[in-house]
Structure 1
């Protein structure tokens, strides 16, 4: 993808959703163990689900997590429920490990994310972004765009980030949105599999 193509897509995204760039800014790192555990829990919940479905469930789940430290009756997926409850009950120790990884740099945070329950090789990038790391999530669409440019996802997003003056997270979102909307002309839309969101 060229810089001109990226800038065109960025403007199309801005016209489609003027608030999008506020939402995809690189986040500050979590401030305490509960903030950390809630961010991890959200990513676990979101894994393999459409954003709109996740928002509905999260609006019911978050109060229970804050009040009791458990999912409660708000969500029935056994694997995710167990993982979220585990993160919430061990949040102090997990947060300390996160802080140690943070002190060692972004790559160590990404590596640490994959050690958490229900967080895999792609989801670790989503989680790292939610924990304050400026990185790209190499989902199927970004992989296709990067391959078309002869680059890896992180290389593509870093290059366009430097050229456009946008964060890597912003570049990731613009490319993902261009594909999701069917704007990128060379993408053959992946199946409606929610894991590709």
Structure 2
């Protein structure tokens, strides 16, 4: 993966060195990213992120850059209440309890049953996001409830992490990127690696 996609090295380095957000603004950015990612590709979310933050920093509402009004309202809340969120986050993080952090993440408006794992990962907890790609890789039906899906996907990533010496979050991120870039094909016959240099645009760059 690291040699077959230009995003591979940066994605790997990011996942290996994830640290908790140090400021309220960074935490708000993590929350807003999760809200934007739900239901769309990372590439599309990256473009929206650029527009949304331009609006927020100009003192405008998110809806001026993002027409999904309910999600835009959730983004406004995350930005305007970032200091309160950060204080709450620090209190939960101090417990060192993954379940408590997942519960806190899941209570944020428009952070769902699956994306709460992504948010927990992005703020420093070594967990996977049990999304459709990991479900397929783990051999589970796509509509498996999150409560059953997470432990199976976490065990899959933990086993690979133990074998490679990487973090669970890193294994998850590398597998996700390979699926996003269509480097892994998954069907009834199994999983195949198919090198496709430049198959999809970068997950780190916003479209103009």
TM-score normalised to the size of structure 1?
A: 0.79
User: 13-22 or 71-80: which moved more?
Assistant: 13-22
Q: Structure 1 residue 182 and structure 2 residue 173: aligned? A: no
Could you tell me how far apart the structure 1 residues matched to 2:184 and 2:161 are? 22
What is the Cα deviation at residue 95 of structure 1?
1.2
Pick the aligned partner of 1:38 from 26, 29, 39.
29
| Counterparts in 2 of 1:31 and 1:70: CA distance versus 1, 3 Å | farther
Cα distance in 1 between the residues matched to 2:16 and 2:55: 27
* Compared CA separation, residues 20 and 88, structure 1 to 2 (3 A): closer
* 1:178 shift after superposition: 4.0
Q: 1:109 aligns with which of 94, 101, 120?
A: 101
Q: Which moved more, 1:159-168 or 1:15-24?
A: 15-24
**Aligned counterpart, 1:133:** 125
1:70 Cα deviation from its structure 2 partner: 3.6
Following the alignment from structure 1 to structure 2, what is the Cα–Cα distance between the partners of residues 69 and 34? 16
Pairs aligned (count): 175
Retained in 2: the 8 A contact 1:26–1:167?
no
SS at match of 1:68: coil
Gaps of 5+ in 1: 1-11, 189-197
Gaps of 5+ in 2: 141-150, 193-208
For residues 1-197 of structure 1, what are the structure 2 equivalents within 5 Å?
A: 12-17=1-6, 18-68=9-59, 70-105=61-96, 106-147=98-139, 152-179=152-179, 180-184=182-186, 186=190
SS in 2 for 1:27: coil
Q: CA RMSD in A?
A: 2.3
| Paired residue secondary structure (2:21) | coil
Tell me if structure 2 keeps the 8 A contact 1:26–1:133: no
Structure that is richer in helix per residue: 1
Instruction: Determine the C-alpha separation between the residues in 2 that align with 1:132 and 1:87.
Output: 19
- 1:57 Cα shift? 1.3
Q: Deviations over 1:172-191 (max 9, x none)?
A: 12323444423456159xxx
TM normalised by structure 2 equals 0.75
The change in CA–CA distance for 1:108 and 1:26 in structure 2 (over 3 A counts) is farther
